[in-house]
A and B are shown apart, each in its own frame.
Chain A
Amino acid sequence: MRDVMLSGRLATRGGGAVRNAVHLLALVFLLLAIAFGVIAWAAGDTFYLRLATEALIFAGLAMSVDILLGYTGLLSLGQALYFGLGAYTSAVVLRDIGPSFWLAMGMTLVLATLAGTLGGFIANRVKGVYFALITFGLAQVVAKVVYNTRELGASDGLIGVPEITIPLGLFTVEAANPAAFFLFVLAFVLLLYAGIAYLMDTPFGRTLTAIRANDRRVPFLGSNPLVYRMLAYVLAANVAALTGALYPMLRGFVSPELMFFHTSGNAVITVIVGGVGTLIGPILGSVLLTALRSVVGTWTEHHLIVIGVLFMLSVILLPKGLIGAIRPWLQHRLTGSETPR
């Protein structure tokens, strides 16, 4: 374990600047988001605040993909499974048991951990393209089961999720209030971000990076890669499910489309556009893509072509994503002399 830390230190000598650059971007993002929230609130807006809230919720899903893809080197094509699991759990709890935010989140945490462990045992038996296919298959199977289960609303989904009040100790947040709920989700997603970013900086995170680099050598460092892959998988499942649980609080319904490949695929695209392995990149990517879809979708019905072309251009011109393109420049500015990695 000490070796891992040592090699981690060596690899990121001057990594302080890398971290600082990314954390600075996160701070800028937070300030811009708060400014947006205040302006939109002052202008009496509802739509853009709620659209931004949705973008942040899908940013959580993208972060969960990034934990697997960017840190552990596992491409999950079925992360919507856990996002949908969280959304359905939260919807059912709020609708049929009681409009309690903490109960919904608690149930989601328990179910996502169970489902993530089970799914992890299946998917982590294989690597590479097989892992991608297994995760894809798992999500399709669960989506079809939900699609055909009358108790879960089948193809129609569940409507009638109440607009809840979220008690936060000193004060409460009304989910129906667009500005308040936006700020709440912003805080929630950025806390998740901070938590994951911290975790990725610990020996645990370094081991995940080592697995991505060369998982055959990890046992020589005294770590069992399978254990770490399982932990990463369950962590990612929980991140996806907890943000998914916020979806019905915003939109008041869930539908099986939330679990479809469409949702998983979009999350992967978001991560690649934003910057793989940066965590803040997926958040920025989600905000940008959601805004772009909304604008282009109104402008032309051929919006899928426009988004597709932009995606290809971004892969060709910005192979490391938005953050990957900004980071070297920012690092350079921060340290004055650091050569970009």
Chain B
Amino acid sequence: MTKKTSALAAALLLTSAGTALAADPIRIGVVTPLSGTYAPIGQQVRWGLELAAKQVNDKGGIAGRPVELLFEDEEANPAVAVQKAEKLFQVAKVDFLTGTVNSGSTLAVGQVAERNDRLLATTVSFADSITTDKCSPNVFRVNARAGQQSAALAEWLNKEKPKSKVFFLGPDYEMGRSTVAAFKQAATDKGASDAGEVFAPLDSKDYTQYFGQLRASRPAVIYTSVAGNDTVRLLTQLEEYGLLRNLTVVGASGTVTSQNIGAIGKAAEGFVTGVGYSPEIGTPENKAFVDAFRAAYKTDPDLYGADSFGLIHFYKAAVEKAGTTATAALRDAMRGIQWQTPQGTKTMRGGDHQAVQEMYAVQVTDGKFRIVGTVPGEAAIGQDLCTKF
């Protein structure tokens, strides 16, 4: 346990001493990357959870018990994550686990949860497999999965540019290919046509070699799932070749982010993606959340921070419904439960443990993401493909 959390827990114990003098804290283990490439995501997870835990504890905790968070660094490495998860389950005796970021860690830690008969929820991993073919009775997901993101984008595309020709450009590795395949499926189901696809190696310096094929197929829309500096090069090269005129660029949620939007500059203008959260959401709940987050951490929450914040409320609602933290009863309570998040009300689908939530299409306007469309949860969720339970 870090000094910060112990201080927090101590403060909570003091403030809630009136209502729950003898109550044991509810311990939530957080296995998240605090060092390495994914540290910025882990930081958002931590802030979201700490903010929610503080607010919940100020109001008397969960069923009269204060929430205590125990953090462990998983280094975005499943082999480290399982070890840390086991430590939290076996030594710290946590009641619940969350925080895993990369889907490999979530899947591996989910198995640890299964073997320890405890429950786990991810607030970040978006690989479809976690709640489809590799679903687990002990794993829940409170954030939107990749399928929901591409469904939301396809929905927006169908509304704004129906039956358009779409060209697909992905990075040439397993995840890049699967995101392109998923969006192509979602878009063609809605009536878009396939103008061709190309896969460029990761870290490509020169995308112009694909521009001939791109122009020849005369698409109205280009979909891309490249990320990081690859997006910078792709979009600036498209701009330099004048190909962005009359072309709508859409992409995966990680394609244009706050990290690379500055480097892309005006070539990012008009880019559209589907996401599960945006700080721009105009509801009073979200405004209150964003204000509290900014006040505490001097920065905007992103979707990881918001979904992690929502997780504490998910757990609170489930424990109060079940009246216990025991695994079997809590699992039953979590299935079908509705809870409040900055994005509004979410519903946990019982069949595959996937949260159903409103999705958003966001567009870059003047260097900032603006919400340009909302897709109701039911339209984006897709089929329940989990057969394990």
Q: Which A residues lie at the B interface, using CB under 8 A?
A: 45-48, 50-51, 54, 147-150, 154-157, 159-160, 163, 251-253, 255-258, 262-263, 294, 297-304
- For residue B245, CB closer than 8 A to chain A, the reply is no
CA of A300 to CA of B71, assembled, Å: 9
**From residue A139, how far is it (CB to closest CB) to chain B in Å?**
16
Considering the complex, give the chain A residue whose CB is closest to the CB of B173.
A148
CA of A299 to CA of B103, assembled, Å: 25
- For residue B78, CB closer than 8 A to chain A, the reply is yes
Q: 6 A-B residue contacts at CB 8 Å? A: A148-B174, A252-B115, A255-B104, A294-B83, A297-B73, A301-B2
**From residue B355, how far is it (CB to closest CB) to chain A in Å?**
20
Contact A251 B79 (CB under 8 A): yes
Considering the complex, give the chain B residue whose CB is closest to the CB of A54.
B83
CA of A8 to CA of B115, assembled, Å: 52
CA of A298 to CA of B173, assembled, Å: 34
* With A251-B79, A294-B87 already in contact, 4 other A-B pairs whose C-beta atoms are closer than 8 Å: A50-B86, A253-B82, A263-B79, A302-B35
Contacting A at CB under 8 A, from B108-152, are 108, 110-112, 115, 127, 129, 134
- For residue B175, CB closer than 8 A to chain A, the reply is yes
Contact B35 A301 (CB under 8 A): yes
Q: Which residues of B contact A157 (CB under 8 A)?
A: 78, 104, 107-108
Q: Which residues of B contact A46 (CB under 8 A)?
A: 86, 90
Q: Which B residues lie at the A interface, using CB under 8 A?
A: 1-2, 34-35, 71-73, 77-79, 82-84, 86-87, 89-91, 102-104, 107-108, 110-112, 115, 127, 129, 134, 173-175
Q: Find A47's partner among B73, B91, B104, B107 (CB 8 Å cutoff).
A: B91
Contact B1 A298 (CB under 8 A): yes
CA of A155 to CA of B1, assembled, Å: 30
Contact A47 B174 (CB under 8 A): no
Q: Which residues of A contact B102 (CB under 8 A)?
A: 155
Q: Which residues of B contact A256 (CB under 8 A)?
A: 104
Contact A301 B34 (CB under 8 A): yes
Where chain B touches its partner, the secondary structure class is: helix
Contact A301 B174 (CB under 8 A): no
**From residue A90, how far is it (CB to closest CB) to chain B in Å?**
15
CA of A160 to CA of B91, assembled, Å: 24
Q: Find A156's partner among B83, B89, B103 (CB 8 Å cutoff).
A: B103
Knowing A251-B82, A304-B35 are in contact, say whether A159-B174 is a contact too (CB < 8 A). Answer: no
Q: Which residues of B contact A50 (CB under 8 A)?
A: 86
Contact B72 A298 (CB under 8 A): yes
Contact B72 A156 (CB under 8 A): no
Contact A257 B77 (CB under 8 A): yes
**From residue B263, how far is it (CB to closest CB) to chain A in Å?**
25
Contact A253 B73 (CB under 8 A): no
CA of A163 to CA of B114, assembled, Å: 13
**From residue B55, how far is it (CB to closest CB) to chain A in Å?**
24
Contact A253 B111 (CB under 8 A): yes
Contact A253 B107 (CB under 8 A): yes
Q: Which residues of A contact B2 (CB under 8 A)?
A: 299-301
